[in-house]
Amino acid sequence: MKRVLASLIGILAIASAWYLWVGQIPRVFESENPTPEPEVLDVEPIVLEHFLGSYTKRSGEGFFVIPGTLDEVREELRRIVSGEQKPRSRFSTEERLNFVVFRGVFSVHPTGWYWLRVDSVQRAGNTFTVRVTYIDNPDAVVAHSYKLLQSDNTVNPPRGGAAFQKFSQPTAVIPIGTLPPGKYRAKLHVTRGPAKSVPFTISFTVE
C-alpha cells in the first residue's frame, strides 16, 4: 500500500512539473520575440495640391514607396500614374525613401479644392503605419464626373457656372530616409470625413 501511495505521489509530482513547464512555453517564446512598441516618427511631410503640375489624365489614388529628391519623386510618380512604370518594391540601403500618398487627379472649381493632411507616421519593427485625413470643400468641388467639353478640354460646369480648366493632384511626400536590409510593410489608413478608415497595405524589400 505504501509503495502504491508513493508511486501515485511520484506520478502527481511529475505531472505537476510537466504542466508548469508546458505553461511557460508561450511566455518563453514571447520573451524571445516580443512585439515591438510602435514609435511615432518625427517626419516632415510635404503636401502639395498641384504636385504633378499640368498633368490632367485621369488617375485614382495610390500609396507608394519612391526614393530620391522631391523632383525625382515627382517624375517617378508621373510615370507610375500614367502607366509608363510599375511601382517599385525593391530598393537599396543607399536610397533615401519616401512614402507617397496620392489622392488622384481632379478637375475642380476655382473656389474649391481637394486636400489631405498627414496625421501621424508610426513604426513597429519593420512595419510602418501612416494615417492621413482627406479634406474637401464639397460645395465648390467639381470632380471628373462632369462631362469634358471636346473643344478645349475644359469642364462642363454645373448650371449657372462658367467653364474653366483647373486640375489638381493632391499628394503627400513623407521622407523616411535610408533603411537597413530587410522586408518591410507599410499600412496607410485614410479617414474620409465621418467614414471609417480605409486601409492600404504595401510590402517592399531593402537589400
The helix or strand, by DSSP H or E, that contains position 123, with its residue range, turns out to be strand 114-124
Cell of residue 205, nine digits: 524589400
> What are the tens digits of pLDDT across the range 31-77?
455 678 899 999 999 999 899 998 988 888 999 999 999 999 999 99
Span 128-139, pLDDT tens digits: 999 999 988 755
Sign of the C-alpha dihedral computed for residues 117, 144, 188 and 41 taken in this order: negative
Tell me the three cell numbers of residue 134: 482627406
Quickly count: other Cβ atoms within 10 Å of residue 61's Cβ: 18
End-to-end CA distance of the chain: 70
DSSP 157: P
Predicted pLDDT at 62:
94
What digits encode the pLDDT tens for the residues 166-194? Answer: 788 999 999 999 999 999 999 999 998 77
Instruction: Round to whole Å and give the CA distance between 77 and 102.
Output: 9
pLDDT of 28: 45
pLDDT tens-place string over residues 102-146 = 999 987 665 567 889 999 999 999 999 999 999 887 554 444 333
pLDDT tens by residue, 49-60:
899 998 988 888
Q: What pLDDT was estimated at residue 148? A: 32
How long is the chain?
Answer: 207
Q: How far is CA 41 from CA 2, 44, 74, in A?
A: 68, 9, 23
